[in-house]
């Protein structure tokens, strides 16, 4: 089975069973002395799957990330410009995601980069629910 077929199969699962959301990343606009002048958010449309963390998720339990408000999520290995319409994207720790119900999440940790034929197929992450509406 080819790498492209494996990636396409996984992405088909996400498209069928997942949801569309908006990923926001804050980029720093630095001055000539390296000081931060402004934070500029950039957004991408992404497809992903979220799941509750269960007792079977030993790795997440051992890392201390299985706390109320956290979930597992699965993302494409890379979202190409043809998907996002705003350049290629690989999810990173700290990225914020708004799901289909309007809830905001932050990528706390990338817990796995699943591979086949020594190439990445998808990423699994732990998301933490964040409340951007309340201060």
Token pair recorded at residue 3:
């790498």
Phi, psi torsion values for 13, nearest 5 degrees:
-65, -45
38 pLDDT higher than 90: no
For residue 111, what are the contacts with CB-CB under 8 A and spacing of at least 6?
Answer: 59, 60, 63, 65, 72, 124, 125, 126
Per-residue pLDDT at 68 exceeds 70: yes
| pTM, two decimal places | 0.82
Count of alpha carbons within 13 Å of 80, Cβ hemisphere only?
4
* Phi/psi of residue 134, nearest 5 degrees: -115, 145
More confident residue, 89 or 58: 89
Calculate the alpha carbon distances from 80 to 13, 76, 128 in Å. Answer: 17, 10, 25
> If you average pLDDT over residues 59-86, what whole number do you get?
85
What rounded mean pLDDT belongs to the chain? Answer: 86
Q: Taking Cα atoms as reference points, which of 115, 12, 109 lies closest to residue 59?
A: 109
The pLDDT of residue 26 is 78
How far is 98 from 68, CA to CA, in rounded Å?
Answer: 18
pLDDT attached to residue 132: 60
pLDDT at 7 over 60: yes
């Amino acid at each position: 089975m080819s790498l492209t077929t494996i990636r396409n199969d996984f992405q088909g699962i996400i498209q069928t069973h997942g949801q569309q959301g908006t990923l926001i990343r804050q980029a720093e606009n630095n001055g000539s002395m390296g000081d931060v002048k402004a934070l500029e958010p950039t957004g991408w449309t992404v497809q992903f799957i979220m799941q509750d963390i269960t007792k079977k998720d030993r790795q997440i339990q051992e890392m201390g990330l299985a706390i109320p408000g956290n979930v597992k999520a699965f993302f494409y290995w890379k979202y190409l410009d043809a998907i996002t319409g705003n350049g290629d994207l690989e999810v990173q720790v700290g990225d914020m995601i708004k799901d289909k119900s309007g809830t905001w999440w932050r990528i706390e940790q990338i817990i796995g980069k699943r591979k086949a034929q020594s190439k990445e197929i998808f990423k699994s992450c732990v998301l933490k629910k964040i409340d951007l509406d309340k201060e």
